[in-house]
Every structure is written in structure tokens, then in C-alpha cells.
Structure 1
Amino acid sequence: MKMKLLSAAIFLAFSSPLLAADGDIHDVTILGTSDIHGHFMPWDYASDKENTRGSLSQIATKVKAIRKEQENLILVDAGDTIQGNFVETFKDEKISPMMLGFNEMDYDVWVLGNHEFDFGLKVLNRALTQFEGNALAGNIEKTDGNPFLPSYTIVERNGIKIGVIGMDTPMTQVFAEGTNRLGGMVFTNPTIEVKKVISKIKDKVDSIVLVAHMGIDNENNRSDTGVADIANANPELDAIVAGHMHVEIDKAVVNGVIITEPGKYGRSLSRIDLQFSEKNGKFTLVNKDSYTYKIQGVTSDKSMEDLYQPYHKRLRENANRKIATLTGADLVPENEVRGIPQVHVQDTGISALFQEVGFFFAPNANVIALQIDNDNAELDVGPIKAKDIAYNYQYAGGEITVYEMTGKELKAYMEWSAGYFNSVKDGDVTYSFDLKRRSSKYSTNDFFAGVTYTIDLTKPAGQRITDLNFSNGQKITMDTPIRIGMNSYRMGHLTRKGGVLENRDFPVLFDTKAIYGEEAGTIRNLAIKYLMEEKKGLYQGKTMQRWKLSGLVGYDKERKIVKDLINAGKIDILKSEDGLYTNVAAINVKDFMFASSSEANAEIMALKQKLMKATDQETIDIEQRITLINALN
């Protein structure tokens, strides 16, 4: 089950020179970051733990080392910088911590991302005035029709002129619908805007590079929301630093344009090398290449750590504020099967807590829908700290907006959510997750409160929700009026082109951000307010049974054997081929059970023969298969 990160139109090799070099050779290197989301130091402020997988201060170490080797260097960022990892704590202060770091590292270009607008234009403009490089966003128009920011800049290195174009995803305007975050500004088509810039600068520069807060493929089935569309329409581009989708791409090529993406949270650094031949004072691009550096384990830069120490100290203190005490039951049971998040396969107290918050602050809702976006959700009996709320609900911008719909539309939404799971087949002894949904940038397994229901995984996707009633037992029909409290971001996903509620327009009855404020109206902050004020610092945890999965029938003995083997570490649940995504297929015992011991022994002997030629991963798979056959027969 191989992950297909890129579309078939993208080719993953581009190494031959463009032209034969017949003059002096000069190099220009472009280093790119994206989606740092406030990770200025190797620390996760939601869990208050060190995290050396990546950060701006670690990237600074790598950039300094490369600068020593390559003087013709351009440093760019593709957006989503000033939100995330609690850096928004300082959004109303005079100094933006992320701009401090960018200026210290001498960034040349910062291209805006969609999350730059999360806190409104006042906060964004304050950061923009502090950035000492060139801030770009060529597809955003102010209300008077003038551009919000420049669309390009020309950076010269040793006589070589690089035109750098900046574009933000037009989905930003979609995400902001129903808010005033954009101040009435309009996002235009980036493919067309890039073409306009190219016609303006192509005779003034030696190479053109796009930095875009967009992934390769189109988002939500909307054309011109992916850089592949831009590359196909603009072959004059030499390279693209992409972002937004939180994936790492060393090198892809679309229509002759190199594309690289540096993942998320400062975990990777993209590098593009442009090689020019100089003849009679004219520079001609003769070769280009790209790849990414892994940042995990890189030493954090001392000067950056000194710069950020006051912010680091304040965020740690804020994270450790006690807001309540949990009594009764832990809000998340231990995983029954190692590696299968219990929070995804049974109703839990942690989802109930946030749904209670939704009902309290949006009292006109009769259904609340949300997701727990942390596989490792955990909140045990004892003190509840501010960091526990953020750890268990990681989307900083989430709010509760109440929409009016019918039971038919609610069920369509619930069926879409239930598509997170694979159907159960005879012999399956574990529930498993759909690979495409599991590998999505966004958590898409939503839970519903105010109702009771069963997800029958013996049924195909779209036909799984059964026994759907309100919590008081009243049956929900296709015409039942529903007032559903949910995140507007999710509603945008459902109503997009191709979405399960495509092109539907649902009246908005209530919005916690509109009532309580852009920051105070988030689920995180409302939960803290609820625990401190409404619950007086005391919350009673209890076992929840509002919904359940069904479908694993029979094979009780085999299920226990498999569970014990997994929990003992003798075998593992199944992962995607690249190892990034867990539990993407069920363990089916029929694959390992034989009619006789002689047949089982013959299969084991055949597997042992394969071991002699197996790769490391094949060895693991074969050894696990042998273990299962021995245990089940």
C-alpha cells in the first residue's frame, strides 16, 4: 500500500544540465523554510517538552554553516510563521518573536501564509513593519484594488539577478469566510498573477524563482490552488519553494520547473542550487537541482537561544498554570492495542470535555462536532494545566460556529467522518484506518455529541451510521432540524467542490469568536474559562458510551492472541509503506491460519527461505508472519 505523495504528472528526477556550459561558472543557492508555525526553539510548548525534531534556532545553525561555504545565498520563507506553538501569545506585543529570528538570520524574503491572517490585519501589519527583508504576496488586493504587498523582488548575488515571486494560497479567503480577518481584501488567481510578473521582469533577471504558500497539487479540488498548475502555465519559472501542505519534497519537476517543499515546524530546510555560465557579462542558467536537509538533532544556535530566552521562559510558565483538578476517571483510556489510538476507536472523556464546552458557550446548538487532533491524547486524574488543554486540542484557531441544517445533512457529514475507517472483513481482529484519510494533513475523524449512534464497519463507506438518535432517545429523521456547533474550517472542507456537502450554504446562527473575541472564542481558551469559572476548578471524569464501532465478530481467541503479541512487542500493527502512518490495514487472522500443522510448517519453511534474500523491512514482515502462524496454529 504505497503512499502516493505526488500526482502522476510529477516526475521525481531532474539532473541533466540545461545547456552545455562554455564560460565561467557561478552558483547561487536558495535556502527555503515554510510552515514553521512558531517553533522558534526546539521546544513543544503544548506538552512543555524538548523537541529536537526541528526549530528555527536549529535551522539557523545549518544556515550559518552553509553561508560559510556559499556566499551567493538567498534565504526565503514560504509562510505560516507567526501562528502556532503558542507564539501567538505575543501577538499584541510590540515585538514579534518570529520577526526577531528572521532578522537575526537575515532572511531575504517572507511570503505570507494563510495562518498569517488568523489574528487580523493589525497583528499581521505589526509583524510586517518589523521584518527587515522583503515581504511578498502577489495575489492579495486591498479594498481599493491596490496590492497589499509587492508580488516580487529582485535579489542580486555577485552580479546574478534572481527574480523572486511570492504568492499565498487563495484558499486563505475560503478559510476566512464568516470572519473579518482579511479586512475585505480579495485573493486573486496566483497562476495569472505569476504570469503577469514574469512578463514584467523576464528581461531584467537571470532566473525566476517562485516562493508560494501552496502545495504541489490543487487543494479541495479547486484549480490554481497548487503550484503544479502554476508551473504548467509558467514554464519560464526555474524553481519553486512550496509550502502549506506540511510535506517534505526533495525534488519534483513539473513542466521543467523544479519544486521543493521543506515540510513543517522547522524539521527540514530546502535547498535549490542554480548554476550559471557567464560569457561577456551575461549569465545563463545551465543547471539546477534541489533537495532538503533533515534538521532533527541539529544543535540549536546559541545566539538564537539567547534571543528567545525571555519568550521561552514566559511560554513555559504559561503552559504550567494549573487551571483545574480532574477527579473520577482518566479522560483517555489506555490503548487496548499498542499503536491503535484509543481516542479514535471509542468514545472518550476528552472529547466529552470539549463538547461540553461547545454546548455551554453555544447553547443554541443541539449537536456538537469536533475532532481530537492528537493520537496520543492523555489527561489523567490529578491537576489540569493549561498545557493539557492545548496538548489534547492542538488546533489553536478552532472555534464553535453553529449552523442550521437537517438530519439528512447531519447524517451525510457523519457518514463522511465514518469514512476514516476501513471496512471490516471476515477474519479481521483489529479496526483500522483508511490510508488516504490517515495521511491527510488534517485530522478528519470527527466525534458527535448530543446524539447517540453506531458506526457499523461491516457496511461500505456512506452506509455506516446506524441507530442515530438525540441523547434523549428521540429519533433523528431526514427532516429533523439540526443546529450543529462545529469548526468553520471543517465546514469549508465539507462544502468545497467535491465535498460531501458541496456548494451547500448553511445559515450561521452563532459564532464563539464573534461573541467572545478572536482569541478568547477559541475552543482552547473557552475550555480554560469553562474549567476555571463554570466548574470552579473541579472536573469529574467519567466513562463515555455515546457512540461505538461495530463489526469485529467472532475470532475471539485469535483476537486475544494477536492483541497480546502486539502489546508484548512481538509484532506490530500495519503501517503505510513509508512507515509514516500507522494502522492503515487490519490484521486478518485468516491470512495466518492453516487447516493442518503440516501446512503451517510448510508455509514457515517457505518464509524462512525468503529470509535469506530479504531486505531489512522484508525481514521484519516475514518474521512477524512466522510469529503469527506459530501463535495461531
Structure 2
Amino acid sequence: MKLINRSVLCLAVLTALGGCSTDEKIVTNEKIVVEETVIEKIVTTDNGYAPVVTEGKTLSNTPDIIVKSENVVDDGDEITISIGATSDLHGRIFGYDYALDAEDSDAGLTRIATLLEAEKAANPNIILLDIGDTVQGNSAQLFNDDPTHPVVATLNALDFDLWVPGNHEFNFERSFVDRNLKHFNGAVVSNNIKWESNDANYIRAFQVFEVDGAKVAIVGLSPSNIPNWEASAPSHFSGLKFDEELASTRTAVDELINKHSPDVIIGAFHIGRSAEGGAGVHKIAAEMADKFDVILAGHEHATYIESVAKGDAAEGTDISTDGKGASEDKTLAGTTYNESNRAQSVKIMEPGKWGSALARADIKLKKNADKWEMVDTTLANISSKNVTQDPGLSAQFKYVDDMAKTDAQEVIGKVSGVFTPGGGGGEATGEDYNNEVGRLYSTIHTAKVVDTPLMDFINQIQLQKSGATISAASLFSDSSNLLDGQDYAKKDSTNLYKYDNTLIAINMTGANLKRYMEWSYAYFNGYQDGDLTVSFKKGAKAYMYDQFDGAINFVVDLTGEPLTMDDTYTVTNEGSRIEISDIDGKAFDKDAVYKVALNSYRWGSNIKKFGWASAEDVFYDSVNEQVYAIRDMLTAEVISKNGVTASEFSNPNWEFKQYQADGAITALRSDGGAGEALWNQLVNKEICINIDMDNPKYPGIVQAVNVNDSSSYFANPNKDSAVPLEVYQGCVVE
């Protein structure tokens, strides 16, 4: 039987039969009728593959080779193979943020659909990939019990060919993952997810496509750190293990080459460029540049196009035209990527988050006798900004949008009292997040630098539920706030706590509690003489900064050194920023054991991994509760009280030394001289703070506004505009 005939037959009966493999033994068992044609049903023996998730077998809904085009290409002819990819959709079928209850002009599969209409017209054989973190976020959990999640159904409607599961696919019971991977119409691939029982692949390691006779292989990869991130809920990855990325990818590619001898190899990796509990894209690219032609990545929520040289894992070289990852600059890329030099480097790219861009890789090949030779590759991230949402897809999934909005807008109580000093979230302006600009004016949220009822609300609920003495929680979003007198809707809980974390409580020694706190406040840069604001460590992520509440009193001194660790998580500097005065009315004791509440992500990805507590130290886990997600605990509290009152949660127990009444920052802002004048300029939006935009997902102030350094700020060119939006836009540097 020829491969192409087998593939066509397999595709024709795929729904009824559940998948094929060229390595399978085939027996004739019975006959069935498909479109009035009698064909033989394929029945598989014990070959390692299964059409549904089966312990110890590889889930396979596709044939070994999927034929996209059967055109015959003669010697000397060139073909262009196009790959399109999305990543980190996080539930965005539509360009709408249900937590903010606002349009998002560069998000949603409905906008990607419009882009794809043009892409498919230009190249009907485009291979479409989604690289994970697909079905979690943006109210997607409302549909978790659907037989097929609507985001998966949307991928099917758009004829996506391949899906790589990300870490957030495993935020729920494994049955959720199993069901949705099975119901995706294309290939599901990841080379490092294995069955613990026999080391077999959970899903395919790779998928081969045939386009005009050329074989293009896609190798999938998921983060090995998933068991740490989901440590509090092992049922989420029950029976599975996640192998180290580089070694597993080497093995998968060797098997791929030996079995199929593909002409092009593409990586589809849901991992960041740097390591996070395993090998990152840069390391794999440097080690395997001679194997891969393009690597499409996810997880980082970044938009970039880079080139990585064989053997050089230090960093990638930005080869985009504008330095922002929109399109490839051939002059920066160096020589043409062709047959003579393809083993020397590999290009990598990521299309950002939420459907903000469609990544496209065009791979040009030339037929030379029986061999396909590389002519060139060209990469681009096609922006969905202000692209019209596809009306057909929008109509098909309108019920999702309607249900999500109805749920988000459901009023469950009233807000009473001041949750953030100054009213608004912005420390300098007292204004809230501007949805149209997508930021606070200064990006400093008051609740990051001042003990507020806004954060105490989360921490006090965690204390009540867990029975702990101390609680730790993060301000995830700069758009979070609660205003006196406002209606409290479900979306407010989502905006305040946007992740699906559960709650853990552990017994922790005083020494390790101190380390935990020092590690958290390493989020900030050290104070420098003349600073009028704080600043954040470059690349700092908001969800990695916890504030501590409960029966603990402490002061944070930003002149102290931050805690540091080496690559093995051994503490190299204990840090000297945290001064704990007392816990539960007694002097702090590093040898005492304290009860600490924290979210499941922090527990698995940091505290347990660092060795600061073990599984035996867990005394509470909300996965056993009817209301198990922290966000839903907030909602349940508001429903039970018909609202939320600031005074019921206010527990001032910490402050920055620099923000005390006589602190260096406080004093400088009211010195009657240059410090006060410059601070008033920021308050009046006459100057702008320098914001690091290397990773747009985590824009931050890496340099404090400093009265002694005029380069630490710049004049707002729109300061005199009568239009508030234009004033904000004056500080936005693209």
C-alpha cells in the first residue's frame, strides 16, 4: 500500500476509527459504509497507539503523515511551505477581556480568522499550529464541562492542523486535558510528556506533513516544570511525567529522522527563551541548530524574531526590522538561510499572547533530483491590531461571548470604603488603569508599595479559609481596584485574581519564611539617593511578588541587599531587606514553625522547588473544598455578605522604610525644593517615567524617577492637551 493512499484512506475513516499509523499491523475485521462506498475498516492491534487516552498508549488522532498537497514537483522547481501559528490564546475566542469588561483591539481568534482568510487565499496548504495555553483564562473555565471546549471547537472551525499543550492546559483535572486533546481534529504533539508506567509518549512527539512531495515535520514540546507548577494538584497530571526538554527533544528528533527523513524540521515549543526549571528555547536552539530550520515558541507572551547560532546559547540575535518582532530584516539575519549554511543557525519566533499576532514562517525549497534543498526562510508576526473580527466565526460562537459577558457582569454586591489610598490605582496620579492606552500613567500601582485593604482582602480570605497565621498573595494586575460605592460584579474577582490558583497552607520554619519574604521583595531594585519612586528589577513579573499579611509585622528597607540564589537554588546571599518585629504577638524566631497560606503556583514552582518546605509540611489544600479556587473564594465572600467593606479587611502590618513618615522617598516628595517640584510634575502628568518594554507582557520601571538624574524621566509632549487620552499617550513609547 502506498503511503499517500493509506493517508487518504486513514483520513476518510478517521472519525469512525480513531487514528492510524504506518507502523501498525493491519487486519481486515469488518466492512463499513462511508458515503455509500464500501471500504474495509482498519482495526489496530497492540501497537502503542490509541484513539482515546489509554494508560501506557500514545493518543493518536492522525496518520503518521498528513498529506496537505499531492502536486508533483519537477526537478528545479521551487515551492514555498507556509507555517502559521498562534500561542497563549488563554481563552480568547473574541477580542474581549471579560475581567475588564472591555474590548481588546489586538486579541482573539476572530481576528486571527480574518488574517487567515488572506493567508489561506495566498497559500491554501498553510500548516496551522497552536502552541499551547489555549483553553484557560478569560472566563474560559465557564465551559470546562462542555464535551468539547469552545476554544478547541474554534481551532477546529479554523482548520488548525496541530496543537501543542502548554502548562495551563494542566490547570484542571487530567480528564479535561484528555477530552480536549482527543476532540481536536488535528494532531496533538509534545515529545516530553510520557506515561510513568512505561515511558511511552502520552501524545505524539512529532507530526509529519507532506506538501507537494516535501516532508515537513513539527516537533512539539511542553514545559518540564508542569509537575512543580501543579504540585498541589497531582491529579491534574495523574500518571504522566514531563522529561527534561533538551534530552527529550534530541531523542524525538533522532527518531523522526531515522523514521521519516523529513526535508524540513520545525519546532513548536511551549517554553520561554531562558530556562525555567529546564532547558529554554535558546539552549535547545543552540544545541540543535543543525536539526531545526525554524522554532516557533510560546509561553513567554513575547513577540520576537531571532536567530541562534549553533553552539551559542547565551542569547538570540534580534533579526526583526523594528526590533519588536514584526518582520524579519534580511540584512540583520545575515546571509540567506540556504542549503550551504542551514546547519549553522536556526531562526526562532513567538507571536505574543491572546491572538495579538499570527506568526508566519515561509520556507522556500527547491527540488534537486530526489532531494529538496533549502532556498530560504522568512519570518513575520502579522499583527491583529484593529483587524475586523470575522463575522462568520463571531456568529458561530456568539453564545460564548454572551455567556461570558453575562457571567462577568453579574452584580453580586456593593463595595464600601476605600480599598486603595488615593482612590485610584496609580500612585502618582490617583487615577485608575486606562483601558484604551493599556496601562497606568506611571505603571506604579499604589497597592504594590503601600499596605492596602485591596491586598488585605485576598490575604484575609486566605487566612480564614486555611487557618494559617500568615498569608502571602500577589497583585496580579495593574488594572485591579475597588471603588467606594461601586457595584461588585463577578468580573471584579477575576480582575483582582485572574489565575486559577488553589490555596495551600504549610508549616514553615522562621528561617525559610524570612527567605521567602526576602526572595519576594527582591522584585524591587535597591533605593538610590534622590529616588522619588521605587523601581523594579528588569524583567520582574508581578505574579512573582508576594505581600504578607496576618499576625506578622515587618518593615522593608530597600537599601538592603536582595536575596540571591544560584542555578541549583542554593542561597548565595540571604538578603537584608526584611525586618520582622513579631509574629502572633511574639518576637520573630527563625527556629520556630509558622503556618503560612500561599497559592498553589507559588507552592509548587518556588517554595517546594527551593526546598523551603516539603509535601509533609502541607496541612491545608483547597482542592478538597467545594470552592477550591482563590478567585471563587473572593466571589463567595462577596455573595455571602452582599458586598465587601474595606474596614473589615484592613490590617496594616508592613511598610517600606522609605515610605514611612520620615522616610527618604516621603521626605523628598515634600521637601519644598527640587524633589517636591519634580514629584508634582509627575502627579500633574508633565513628565513620564522610563518604562522597559523589552517584554511587553511585563512592562516595568527599571529606573526610579530620581531628582539627581534627568535621564530617569522625560517630558510629556502631550502634557498641555485637553484630551486625557492624549496626555496618557504622550508617555507611551512603542
CA positional deviation for 1:96: 1.0
Query: Offset of 1:50 from its aligned partner?
Result: 1.0
| 1:220-239 equivalent positions in 2, closer than 5 A | 220=277, 222=278, 224-226=279-281, 228-229=283-284, 231-233=286-288, 235-239=290-294
Selected match of 1:289 from 361, 365, 378 = 378
The whole-number CA distance in structure 2 between the counterparts of 1:189 and 1:119 is 22
Partner amino acid for 1:586? A
Q: In the alignment, which of 458, 464, 467 is matched to residue 577 of structure 2?
A: 464
Paired AA for residue 453 in structure 1 = F
Match of 2:531 in 1: 428
SS in 2 for 1:153: strand
2:230 to 176, 183, 191: 176
Q: What residue is the counterpart of 1:219 in the other structure?
A: 276
User: Percent identity at matched positions?
Assistant: 26
- Shift in Å, 1:164: 1.1
- What residue is the counterpart of 2:657 in the other structure? 550
The 1:153–1:122 alpha-carbon spacing in structure 2 relative to 1, beyond 3 Å, is same
Aligned to 2:108: 55
Q: Secondary structure at the match of 2:687?
A: coil
> C-alpha displacement at 1:263, in angstroms?
1.4
The CA deviation string for residues 485-531 of structure 1, in whole angstroms up to 9 with x for no partner, is: 1013113343477xxx45753634334433215xx311111111122
**Residue 351 of structure 1 contacts residue 447 of structure 1 at CA under 8 Å; is this kept in 2?**
no
- Contact 2:232 2:604 survives alignment (8 Å): no
Cα separation, partners in 2 of 1:27 and 1:538, compared to 1, 3 Å:
closer
- Indicate whether 1:375 and 2:429 are aligned: no
2:625 counterpart of 1:516: yes
Per the alignment, in what secondary structure is the counterpart of residue 530 of structure 2?
coil
Displacement of 1:140: 1.4
Aligned mates of 1:460, 1:194 — CA distance in 2: 39
Report the equivalent of 1:74. 127
Match of 1:248 in 2: 303
Q: Is the 8 A contact 1:258 1:289 kept in 2?
A: no
Q: Cα 1:410–1:153, aligned 2, differ >3 Å: closer, same or farther?
A: same
Query: For the residues of structure 1 that align with 2:394 and 2:177, how far apart are their CA atoms?
Result: 24
Q: Tell me the residue number matched to 2:80.
A: 27
Q: 1:529 aligns with which of 627, 633, 636?
A: 636
| Alignment match of 2:394 (pick from 305, 324, 327) | 305
Listed as ranges, the matches of 1:328-347 within 5 Å are 328-331=417-420, 333-334=423-424, 335-338=426-429, 339=442, 340-347=444-451
What is the aligned counterpart of 1:161 among 198, 205, 215? 215
Deviation at 1:376, TM superposition (A): 2.4
Aligned residue identity for 1:521: Y
CA RMSD of aligned residues (A): 2.6
What is the distance in 1 between the residues matched to 2:162 and 2:427?
A: 48
The TM-score normalised by the length of structure 1 is 0.84
Q: Do the aligned partners of 2:689 and 2:713 also contact (CA within 8 Å) in 1?
A: no
Which letter maps to 1:414? M
- What is the letter of the counterpart of residue 483 of structure 1? K
TM-superposed CA distance for 1:336, in Å, is 3.5
> In 2 relative to 1, CA 136–389 (structure 1 residues): closer, same or farther, beyond 3 Å?
same
With normalisation by structure 2, the TM-score equals 0.73
**71-80 or 245-254, larger mean C-alpha shift:** 245-254
Query: Residue 588 of structure 1: CA displacement?
Result: 1.9
SS in 2 for 1:507: helix
Partner secondary structure for residue 186 of structure 1 = strand
Q: Which moved more, 1:444-453 or 1:48-57?
A: 444-453
Residue 274 and residue 441 in structure 1: after superposition, are their counterparts in 2 closer, same or farther (change >3 A)? farther
State the shift of 1:199 in Å: 2.6
Change (3 A) 1:481 1:508: closer
Q: Is the 8 A contact 2:90 2:134 kept in 1?
A: yes
Letter in 2 for 1:583: I
Q: Which has the higher contact order (CA 8 A, sep 6+)?
A: 1
Q: For 1:403 and 1:254, locate their aligned partners in 2 and report how far apart those are by CA, in whole Å.
A: 45
Q: CA deviation at 1:56?
A: 1.2
Q: Which residue of 2 aligns with 1:187?
A: 242
CA distance in 2, matches of 1:240, 1:93: 33
Alpha-carbon offset, residue 579 of structure 1:
9.1
Q: CA deviation at 1:450?
A: 2.7
Q: What residue identity is the alignment partner of 2:263?
A: D
8 A Cα contact 2:113 2:389, kept in partner:
yes
Counting only pairs closer than 5 Å after superposition, residues 339-488 of structure 1 correspond to structure 2 as 339=442, 340-363=444-467, 365-382=468-485, 383-395=487-499, 397-437=500-540, 440=541, 442-461=543-562, 462-470=575-583, 472-488=584-600
Alignment of 1:554-569 (within 5 A): 554-555=667-668, 556-557=671-672, 558-569=674-685
Do the aligned residues in 2 keep the contact of 1:214 with 1:227 (CA within 8 Å)?
no
* Cα distance in 2 for residues equivalent to 1:385 and 1:619: 38
Give the direction of change, closer, same or farther, for the CA distance of 1:75–1:123 in structure 2 (3 Å limit).
same
Query: What is the alpha-carbon distance in structure 2 between the residues aligned to residue 618 and residue 171 of structure 1?
Result: 39
Q: 1:110 to 1:504 in 2, by over 3 A?
A: same
Distance 2:461 2:612 in 1: 29
2-side partners of 1:25 and 1:620: how far apart? 53
- CA gap of 1:91–1:618, structure 2 versus 1, over 3 A, is closer
Which residue pairs with 2:158 in the alignment? Answer: 105
Q: 1:41 matched to which residue of 2?
A: 94
CA deviation map 1:235-280 (0-9, x unaligned): 2111111111111112332421211111111112211111101133
Give 1:409 shift: 1.0
**Secondary structure at the residue paired with 1:565?**
helix
The AA in structure 1 aligned to 2:560 is K
Structure 1: 5+ residue runs without aligned partners?
1-21, 593-606, 608-616, 625-633
Between the two proteins, the alignment pairs up a number of residues equal to 568
Structure 2 residue 298 is the aligned partner of structure 1 residue 197? no
The AA in structure 2 aligned to 1:248 is T
Gaps of 5+ in 2: 1-74, 311-344, 430-441, 563-574, 720-734
Structure 1 residues 328-355: Cα deviation after superposition (integer angstroms, max 9, x where no partner): 3245643331412101110111111111
Equivalent in the alignment of 1:64: 117
Q: Give 1:460 deviation, angstroms.
A: 2.6
Quote the Cα distance in structure 1 between the aligned partners of 2:179 and 2:452: 41
